Amino acid sequence: MPKSLVSIHDFSKDELLYIVKQAAIFEKDHRPVLKGKVVATIFFEPSTRTRLSFETAANRLGARVVGFSDADNTSVSKGETLKDTIMMISNYADLIVMRHPREGSARYASEISRVPVINAGDGANQHPSQTLLDMYSIQKTQGRLDNLTITMVGDLKYGRTVHSLLQAMSHFNTRFKFIAPPELRMPEEYKQYLSERGLPFTEHTELAENINDADILYMTRVQRERFSDPIEYEKVKNVYVLKNSFLKDTKPSMKILHPLPRVNEISADVDNNPKAYYFEQARNGVFARMAIIHYLIGR
Ligand code: CP
């Protein structure tokens, strides 16, 4: 089976550090080293950043891109299974980048595919390429990955980006703070993961009074698409709104990350604060994804 990136655990600490280092190299210089390769991007769920930055990354490396952003226009709409779809695409492409709403779908695809699979998000489970661009953003802004305080805010229950990031940063002696309403707390399995590794974490429900010691303030969106009951979503959708006034006593070096899209959780008045880093973070996605694609099919 070819090496895939389905979960952040598929990469060792050394591999994570290698990708972060390579991303910096690709940011400075991108030659078309993957000429002749084909990358398939298959998205069964909406995306702006992940799909377009993967496609930009592949194009900048000289690869060609095929794929779809709406499965309704494919034979899936005629009843073709995920298994058959993956078998077909792995006949055509050298790498598959897949987003799918079902947890575990990317692992399943990687077990069928003849070519590497990158999980571009599977339900509430994992989003490992987002984690690598987050790590690259942390390294760039803090000058290190070790011994930082990362404060995660919002939908910590369904947020696949916080789950992947927590696991990756557990290699680096991170202190975590979780700020979430009771309905959206960090799941027990992730807290247990930290406890087993002796990593400290605290849990809170208030935003403004708990962010002054953060090196990274990682905001997340409450994800309407993960709620089966719309009333439950309505109760929590605007639970946290980060305002510029909350930032006055935060560390000068602190940066605000957000995987985006945001809805209401960061007020527009934060965008011009030098601590706001989420748009640069999304830009870093191209370089991190160039490094991942190159690692999987270019060496
Ligand atoms: N961060 C992220 O996954 O964004 P998209 O949903 O736009 O791809």
Ligand 1 neighbourhood includes 126 CB (under 6 angstroms) = no
Mean pLDDT confidence for 35-54: 97
pLDDT of residue 260: 96
The pLDDT assigned to 210 comes to: 97
Residue closest by Cα to atom 5 of ligand 1: 47
Q: Is the CB of 90 under 6 A from ligand 1?
A: no
* Burial track 184-223 (b if 16+ CB lie within 10 A, e otherwise): bbbeeebbebbeeeebebeeeeebeebbeebbbbbbbbbb
pLDDT band at 23 (very low <50, low <70, confident <90, very high): very high
Q: Which atom of ligand 1 is nearest to the CA of 45?
A: 6
Q: Report whether pLDDT(226) > 80.
A: no
Cα Rg for the chain, rounded, in angstroms? Answer: 19
130 touches ligand 1 (CB under 6 Å): yes
pTM: 0.95
Give distance in angstroms: CA of 198 to centre of ligand 1. 31
Residue 247 buriedness (CB in 10 A; 0-12 / 13-18 / 19+): buried
Task: Please determine, for residue 224, whether its predicted confidence score (pLDDT) is greater than 80.
Answer: no
Residue 228 has pLDDT above 80, yes or no: no
| Domains, the chain, ordered by start | 8-126+285-298 (3.40.50.1370), 129-282 (3.40.50.1370)
- Atom of ligand 1 minimally distant from the CA of 46: 6
Q: What is the mean pLDDT of the chain?
A: 96
> What is the percent of the chain where pLDDT is above 90?
89
- Is the per-residue pLDDT at 146 higher than 80? yes
Measured between alpha carbons, how far is 231 from 172 in angstroms, rounded to an integer?
Answer: 39
Mean pLDDT of 246-274: 97
The mean per-residue pLDDT over the stretch 48-73 comes to 97
Q: What is the pLDDT of residue 229?
A: 80
Residue 285 Cβ contacting ligand 1 at under 6 Å: no
pLDDT band at 108 (very low <50, low <70, confident <90, very high): very high
pLDDT at 42: 98
Ligand 1 in contact with 260 (CB < 6 A)?
Answer: yes
Q: What is the mean pLDDT of residues 161-187?
A: 96
pLDDT(233) > 80: no
pLDDT score of 147: 98
Over residues 206-227, mean pLDDT: 92
Which protein residue's CA is at the shortest distance from atom 6 of ligand 1? 47
Is the minimum distance from the CB of 223 to ligand 1 under 6 angstroms?
no
- Ligand 1 nearest atom to the CA of residue 51, by list position: 8
